[in-house]
């Protein structure tokens, strides 16, 4: 496999793209990249993005959005694996659809243990703050369709993604919030409920 090195400008561009995905859930515009790189024209930023695509660092998905497909900070001796960061999942779209993958990030194989499959998801709101999952945090999730009592899971309920504690009894499956905010109520799972994965750990800051 041919190995590419990145120029200083390419490294800055990749850092800006990664930071924008983490902090805002989207790639920066060409004008944002132009300013970050000190260019006078967005065309120069566009040419740089195309170079990163040609090197296999970035790609465009079917909707035209940029994805990081190789994090260049991932060194071969770090024992990491690229885990997809999923963006907002529109109603009716499968959670693992290509359009939902914003980037791949290196995660230690001590956490993301092969041969299991994993994904990263950004938490929203405060419904699980008693589990130290705060708004904007990332959770590492092991992909699976089953769960045990007390697991923190990612589930699809009415085609919407939710993060809750799994509670099962002889009478019902209940998805429980664990929050200091009493506005959040348990969800009784019905036929429209699917387990997507079980949380492994919380990652407050992917850049930390």
Q: How far apart are CA 95 and CA 191, in angstroms?
A: 18
Token code pair at residue 148: 């045990």
127 has catalytic annotation: yes
Which candidate in 20, 70, 131, 164 is catalytic?
164
Question: Residues 6 or more apart from 77 whose CB is under 8 A from it?
Answer: none
164 has catalytic annotation: yes
Residue corresponding to tokens 């938490």: 123
Surface-to-core class of residue 177, CB atoms within 10 Å of its CB (0-12 exposed, 13-18 middle, 19+ buried) = buried
Q: Which letter does DSSP use for residue 44 in this model?
A: H
Which candidate in 117, 127, 130, 169 is catalytic?
127
CA distances from 101 to 31, 121, 179, 199 (A): 23, 10, 28, 18
Q: How far apart are CA 171 and CA 24, in angstroms?
A: 41
CA-based nearest residue to 72, from 33, 34, 102, 106: 106
CB 163 within 8 A of CB 199: yes
CB 137 within 8 A of CB 190: no
Known catalytic residues are 127, 164
């Amino acid at each position: 496999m041919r190995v590419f090195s990145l120029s200083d400008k390419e490294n800055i561009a990749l850092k800006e793209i990664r930071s924008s995905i983490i902090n805002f859930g989207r790639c920066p515009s060409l004008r944002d990249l132009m300013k970050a790189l000190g260019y006078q024209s967005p065309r120069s930023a566009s040419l740089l993005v195309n170079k990163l695509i040609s090197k296999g660092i970035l790609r465009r998905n079917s909707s035209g959005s940029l994805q990081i497909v190789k994090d260049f900070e991932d060194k071969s001796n770090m024992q990491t694996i690229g885990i997809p960061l999923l963006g907002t999942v529109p109603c009716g779209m499968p959670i693992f659809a290509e359009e939902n993958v914003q980037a791949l990030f290196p995660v230690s194989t001590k956490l993301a243990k092969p041969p299991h499959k994993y994904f990263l998801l950004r938490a929203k709101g405060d419904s699980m703050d008693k589990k130290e999952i705060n708004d904007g945090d990332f959770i590492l999730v092991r992909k699976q369709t089953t769960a045990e009592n007390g697991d923190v899971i990612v589930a699809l309920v009415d085609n919407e993604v939710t993060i809750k504690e799994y509670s099962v009894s002889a009478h019902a499956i209940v998805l429980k919030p664990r929050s200091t905010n009493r506005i959040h109520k348990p969800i009784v799972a019905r036929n429209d409920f699917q387990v997507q994965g079980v949380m492994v750990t919380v990652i407050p800051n992917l850049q930390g």
